[in-house]
Structure 1
Amino acid sequence: MFAKENRFFLIDEPTNHLDQPARRLVGDYLAGKQGFILVSHDRAFLDRCTDHILSINPSELQIQKGNFSSWQENKRRQDQFELSQSEKLKKEIGRLSGAARQASQWAGRVEREKYGSQSSGLRPDRGYLGHKSAKMMKRAKALETRRLDALREKEELLKNLEHTEDLRIRPLPFSGRRLAELKEVSIQYGNLTACKGVSFTIEPGDRIVLQGKNGSGKSSVLKLLLGEALSFSGQLTKDSRLNISYVSQDTSRLKGSLTEYAAARGLEESYLKAMLRKMGFSRGQLEKDCSDFSGGQKKKVLIAGSLCEAAHLYLWDEPLNDIDLFTRIQIEELLLAGKPTLVFVEHDEIFASKIATKAVNL
């Protein structure tokens, strides 16, 4: 691609479906090249091959020198500073509002005294009281001006703050010692062996990442655990009481309305839509046909569907493909807080390192 001279390349999510070794290879290759704009949600990949970050924020575009990690740290500091400033201004606005209201009340009271009479029967000094009233009104107006200035300053803050709501997962408690165990399992498709000699145990609270190159049988292991009728040798032991929730790598079959999708999976429609709202769907998008969704939106529907299911074991096959950065972090926080028992395939290096309690190499 870079053999042609005088070209500037636009590279759109080159890591989708690539395994970790391939991502490192592509990242190292791009690190030695110049003249391209790259779209990617893989944080380790961005750190490996970028020297500027162009971020599309809610209110503006920003460009910063450095890799993703430096951009993320700068954004964290900026957001923290603006949140602090916003809180200070909120308190200042409240104080100024009270002071302006009090000054205005005082001015009105003094103004009324100009036309009254003192208890001694003497007429009040209207000149003095008029001057005092004008002075108080001037102070009230100055306080109101300061309040409006503080409001305008507050409005300029937090425009680029990415707000995400907490997601919820509903893992079922499991009383046994092991949910499932594979011993020397090999999976075949006719004459083709997808994987060979796979052994691991799933215990309550495990979050196991299946690692390996593309075609090493990771998805096949998930399907075998799910209960698909695959040809295999070796020993698979699985507790008969298990409720399993599955997120497929494939989103191409997702069609129809969300109402139809919820009914087909036996989900509570309102809860599914609430999850999708938390994942960035607008109200209008909830009424669209699923076939019209982007790849990332389709994957969010599958993940939200899994979150709606109470399960002992969650099987997620490349859940982050096409998923934006902030939703990735949102899902990370969900899994770390919810502590479900999970077996997953994911090539996002940072996500896998944060979430997995065990790794199985195929």
Structure 2
Amino acid sequence: MGTIKIHNLSFRYDGMPSALFDQFSLNIDESWKLGLIGRNGRGKTTFLRLLLGQLAYQGQITANVKFTYFPQAVTDSRASTATVLRQIAGLDESEFWQIQIEMDQLQLDDEVLDRPFITLSPGEQTKALLAVMFSEAGTFKLIDEPTNHLDGAARDVVADYLRSKTGFIVVSHDRHFIDQIIDHVLSIDRAKIQLFSGNYETWKAEFDRANVAEQANKKQLQTEIKRLDTSAGKIKQWAGNAEAKKSQKHYQHQGHVNMDKGYLGHKAAKMMKRSKNTLKRTETAITEKRTLLKNIDEKPQLTMNYQRPHQQWLLQVTDLQVIQNGVILNQPITFELKPGQRQVLIGPNGFGKTTIFEAILGKSDLIAGGGVALNPTLKISYLTQNFEHLQGAIESYAQESGIELADLLNMLRKLGFERSAFSENLSNLSMGQKRKVSLAKTLCEPANLYVWDEPLNYLDVITRQQVEDLIIKEQPPMLVIDHDQDFVQAIANVPMIEIKRP
């Protein structure tokens, strides 16, 4: 049975104030189905890259298994899907059946093989690349966020597929998805890394219990640290006084004191030694207690610049159909939105959900039939899917967005951003961090109505819960597209609308 052994692993990127991994050790069995959980920017993808040998590190990683990574690089996306998959797998046509067996389990039809890979939907591309990965026996799979951009049906298929597999690490922030497929959790917290036997719910129960306990101790720890700091200052003063007492002048006003220099020096040295030992113990205690504080993964309450609408109606959609490239995408839909209502659109990718949002927000050329009446006095905050190409300084982004920099940075801190990331070019941030920048923008700008297109893509599970809690608290009117089943069921307060083909 194979084992991946990690011993004293340390790693940090150039310019980082602290290490992502510091003297980290772990043994992973090749049969485990391990979920990697942690806030965005904590090093989940970095950990996979370390296993792949793509980054220089200190320590040891030994394994008697070969690693494979998803998503694989596609060098020519315009080639046929069959060609792309053969190139990735290194198989000839006579061996291609190995991939087709996996495709059948993923409910991916052979007809996609003749199509250019670039024309496949996100769900089809994910299934095709997973089929290639699992067609190679004897490897340990590193699966990095397979659910992004997948619709609900595709997520269920991929979850069913992975349930039947063993020997992988998966990074995913979809709580419902990951809970079905893993038997171990590796949690990358603020100050430590922990291994749990069980699924996502096992980890969440322990995470919530630990955070409640640590939050309860936080005030006590801070009081104790303050007391120890004061004690350390007094000890240093005591040590200074002991040094001064080496001098005969210090005692010359006292008539019955042994004025021998050797005696005074010996007495002062004893006091100095005692004070230094006491100071060392006190400073060690302070460091230990501050470390306890650092591991609290706080989930501060988010805020939003929601301005409750005074209008009695916000939106009326009647028999709306949308069109792209001359093709009508959906059956007619009809709904209205009033203050406090949250409407969720569901359905497979490619059925026109995003196009419906764009038509509602004013792109009349996308309307093939029916109509939209949107209250013209509304302030609307639109969170799009397109955030991958953010670049430049955070200061420039705030200025271009018309948001106070201090407000944006404060919101990002609540979303779990480390301060060291504020100086990074936005293009260098992880996908989850970029998503948080765009989310922080929509929470900071004034709005009567929120239109959010897949807001949870790439966001960690803690942030997802923060967003959900915020919506339930503030009760803003919203139009939402998202494939996180737990999230949409929690926030929708009117019947969801399923988008269907004509």
TM > 0.5: yes
d(CA) in 2 for partners of 1:201 and 1:244? 16
Gaps of 5+ in 2: 1-130, 235-274
Kindly provide the amino acid, as one letter, of the partner of residue 374 in structure 2. Answer: K
| Pairing of 1:11-26 with structure 2 (within 5 A) | 11-26=143-158
Say if 1:81 and 1:264 are closer, same or farther in 2 by CA, change over 3 A: closer
Counterpart in 2 of 1:119? none
d(CA) in 2 for partners of 1:77 and 1:262? 37
Counterpart in 2 of 1:335? 471
SS of alignment partner, residue 18 of structure 1? coil
Say if 1:90 and 1:248 are closer, same or farther in 2 by CA, change over 3 A: closer
The reply on whether 1:77 has 2:209 as its aligned counterpart is yes
The reply on whether 1:236 has 2:372 as its aligned counterpart is yes
Counterpart in 2 of 1:64? 196
Tell me by how many angstroms 1:184 deviates: 1.0
Say if 1:294 and 1:152 are closer, same or farther in 2 by CA, change over 3 A: closer
d(CA) in 2 for partners of 1:297 and 1:211? 26
Q: Deviations over 1:235-268 (max 9, x none)?
A: 2111121111101101144333333323333222
| Pairing of 1:124-163 with structure 2 (within 5 A) | 154-155=289-290, 157-163=292-298
Alpha carbon RMSD of aligned pairs, Å? Answer: 3.6
Correspondence for 1:251 among 387, 393, 401:
387
Identity %: 38
2:328–2:368 contact (8 Å) kept in structure 1: no
Tell me by how many angstroms 1:146 deviates: 10
1:79–1:158 contact (8 Å) kept in structure 2: no
Normalising by structure 1, report the TM-score: 0.80
| Pairing of 1:45-194 with structure 2 (within 5 A) | 45-85=177-217, 154-155=289-290, 157-194=292-329
| Pairing of 1:305-320 with structure 2 (within 5 A) | 305-320=441-456
SS of alignment partner, residue 135 of structure 2? coil
Kindly provide the amino acid, as one letter, of the partner of residue 212 in structure 1. Answer: G
Q: Deviations over 1:160-219 (max 9, x none)?
A: 320233321122222232200111110011321122211111110112211111111111
d(CA) in 2 for partners of 1:97 and 1:297? 36
d(CA) in 2 for partners of 1:90 and 1:288? 31
d(CA) in 2 for partners of 1:80 and 1:271? 28
1:86–1:154 contact (8 Å) kept in structure 2: no
d(CA) in 1 for partners of 2:211 and 2:299? 14
Counterpart in 1 of 2:355? 220
SS of alignment partner, residue 295 of structure 2? coil
The reply on whether 1:290 has 2:426 as its aligned counterpart is yes
The reply on whether 1:361 has 2:493 as its aligned counterpart is no
d(CA) in 2 for partners of 1:270 and 1:92? 31
Counterpart in 1 of 2:136? 4
Counterpart in 1 of 2:336? 201
Kindly tell me the number of residue pairs found equivalent between the two proteins. Answer: 341
Kindly provide the amino acid, as one letter, of the partner of residue 497 in structure 2. Answer: V
Q: Deviations over 1:14-41 (max 9, x none)?
A: 0000011111111111111111111111
Counterpart in 2 of 1:346? 482
d(CA) in 1 for partners of 2:427 and 2:229? 52
d(CA) in 2 for partners of 1:155 and 1:297? 26
Kindly provide the amino acid, as one letter, of the partner of residue 151 in structure 2. Answer: D
Q: Which region of structure 1 is more displaced relative to structure 2, 272-281 or 237-246?
A: 272-281
Correspondence for 1:278 among 402, 414, 417:
414
SS of alignment partner, residue 275 of structure 1? helix
1:189–1:231 contact (8 Å) kept in structure 2: no
Tell me by how many angstroms 1:74 deviates: 1.2
Say if 1:96 and 1:255 are closer, same or farther in 2 by CA, change over 3 A: closer
Q: Which region of structure 1 is more displaced relative to structure 2, 157-166 or 70-79?
A: 157-166
Kindly provide the amino acid, as one letter, of the partner of residue 344 in structure 1. Answer: V
Q: Deviations over 1:298-321 (max 9, x none)?
A: 221211111121111111111111
Tell me by how many angstroms 1:281 deviates: 3.0
Kindly provide the amino acid, as one letter, of the partner of residue 188 in structure 1. Answer: I
SS of alignment partner, residue 358 of structure 2? helix
d(CA) in 1 for partners of 2:357 and 2:427? 25
d(CA) in 2 for partners of 1:253 and 1:159? 32
Q: Which region of structure 1 is more displaced relative to structure 2, 64-73 or 326-335?
A: 326-335
SS of alignment partner, residue 391 of structure 2? coil
SS of alignment partner, residue 53 of structure 1? strand
Counterpart in 1 of 2:62? none
d(CA) in 1 for partners of 2:187 and 2:135? 28
Say if 1:152 and 1:203 are closer, same or farther in 2 by CA, change over 3 A: same
Tell me by how many angstroms 1:95 deviates: 9.5
1:93–1:147 contact (8 Å) kept in structure 2: no
Say if 1:181 and 1:284 are closer, same or farther in 2 by CA, change over 3 A: same
Say if 1:252 and 1:71 are closer, same or farther in 2 by CA, change over 3 A: closer
Tell me by how many angstroms 1:93 deviates: 8.2
